[in-house]
A and B are shown apart, each in its own frame.
Chain A
Amino acid sequence: MKASAFSYARATSVVNAIELLAEHGDRAKVLSGGQSLMPAMNLRLISPELIVDIGDLTELRGIAVTGDRLRIGALTRHVDLLNSADVAKHAPLISEAITHVAHAAIRNRGTIGGSLAHADPAAELPASMVALKATIIVEGPAGERQIAAEDFFTGIYETALEVDELLVAVEVPVAQRNSAHYFSEFARRHGDYGIVGLAAQAVVDGDILTDLRLAYFSVGDRPVLAMAATKLLNVAVTPAVLLEASETLGEELDPQEDQQASVSMRRHLAKVLLARCVATLLGRPELSAGEVL
């Protein structure tokens, strides 16, 4: 299908974009790379009256390291993240997550800001931001707001963004010497939306996990930070410890059923990912051998 008719404004600055959004409220939609917005419009799932195209705002593009923060501009494309040495060094979880995002032609247009503002609960980047303790930076008529990724995603395609605010950047803490990460998802085909996925960021001290953030996606209406991680912190991880964490995970997750998977299948796959994650982070393949599921 074709998108229904709409008016089009090419924003000339961040301030201009915010003015347009303030004037038109929820009748307007911001167009970044368009790789989620355009399908939704072509399918007539949404029909905005005004499109505010921010594609010319080059100041929103780019990756920079400042002190212990990696700042990524909202218009930075997936392919730019994939090819960035800074991202690979300072936030390797993102580099790995991006390889699971759609296909080359989509990654050449899709942007990190667009993905985060769209807030698809099955998408890889929102969960990765939650795992990384990212800060989402938005600008509105009253100035800048910094929102923790955990608080930013509020529901299916819903975020803490006000209608007159623009997502301008995201900042993540740079990886430390003993940082470790894990990313994996189950999908029908590589590049499809995950049936269940896990983005995890950890600190490993010898054979002990001293920090672990498990951000699951496609198991709820937003990225889910699993509290089961606390069962694995500062202890020698034995199969019994992992089993307890796995049971806690099964109890805390409340996944949806759809054409792709039942509730119990999603719970099971989440547990499989937990075992594989812990085994990978600790370099102990025997932990994912299957008996702890």
Chain B
Amino acid sequence: MIPAVSISLQVNGERIEAHVLPRLNLADFLREHLKLTGTHVGCEHGVCGACTVRVNGDIVRSCLMLAAQTNGASIETIEGLSDSGEISDLQAAFRERNALQCGFCTPGMLVTAQDLLLQEAEPDRERIREHLSGNYCRCTGYQAIVDAVASTARARTGRGA
């Protein structure tokens, strides 16, 4: 019998105490224990980017982190970024530019794109593509997604959408 691990962490600003089995990864902890199903599980080995969340301010793959490793950490998921209004303009741009179709990759795309926009005010299309290069989209393709990120960057720096 493998003992559970006690963890204490913040998720979207809320204090969470839990006992988790060591093998449980952060993505499954968020989805199945906390019912935060906006974090999507695609490849489960760090390639597709659908499970991207923020841990202590840095974007990470939640499928490549154990829930047990999050003790003391502050996690922000797509639900947190969405509810706080932090990325409402980016979300609106994704809708306007038709940058999502099935929506499976969208949470990871939004978290990753926001990470870039926080680091660089005026990334060019090449930089946007590079930063999103670890996120797969299997339906709309990348053109509209890059358009949406670029137009959000322009709007945020007062250069028009």
Contact = CB atoms under 8 A, between A and B. Distances in A.
B62 to A, nearest CB: 9
B45 interface: yes
Interface stretch (A2-10, A12-20, A239-247, A262-270): A2-10
A252 B49 CA distance: 39
A105 B49 contact: yes
A106 interface: yes
A85 to B, nearest CB: 17
A34 B64 contact: yes
Interface stretch (A38-46, A203-211, A219-227): A38-46
A53 B21 CA distance: 14
Given A106-B61, A109-B61, A191-B133, A8 B46 contact: no
A43 B3 CA distance: 23
B69 A105 contact: no
Contacts of A42: 25, 44-45, 63-64
A105 B5 contact: no
Nearest to B131: A104
Contacts of B49: 103, 105
Contacts of B39: none
A2 B26 CA distance: 12
Contacts, number: 92
By size class, the interface of chain B is 20 to 34
A191 B59 CA distance: 16
Interface of A: 1-8, 10, 31, 34-35, 38-39, 42-43, 51, 53, 55, 79, 102-106, 108-109, 189-191
28 contacts: A2-B25, A2-B28, A4-B23, A6-B22, A7-B2, A8-B66, A8-B68, A10-B68, A10-B71, A34-B65, A35-B61, A35-B64, A38-B25, A38-B46, A38-B64, A42-B44, A42-B45, A53-B69, A79-B58, A103-B49, A104-B59, A104-B131, A105-B61, A106-B64, A106-B134, A108-B55, A109-B58, A191-B134
Interface of B: 2-3, 5, 21-23, 25, 28, 44-46, 49, 52, 55, 58-61, 63-66, 68-69, 71, 112, 115-116, 130-131, 133-134
Kindly list the 3 A-B residue pairs having the minimum CB-CB distance in the complex, ordered from nearest: A103-B134, A8-B22, A39-B45
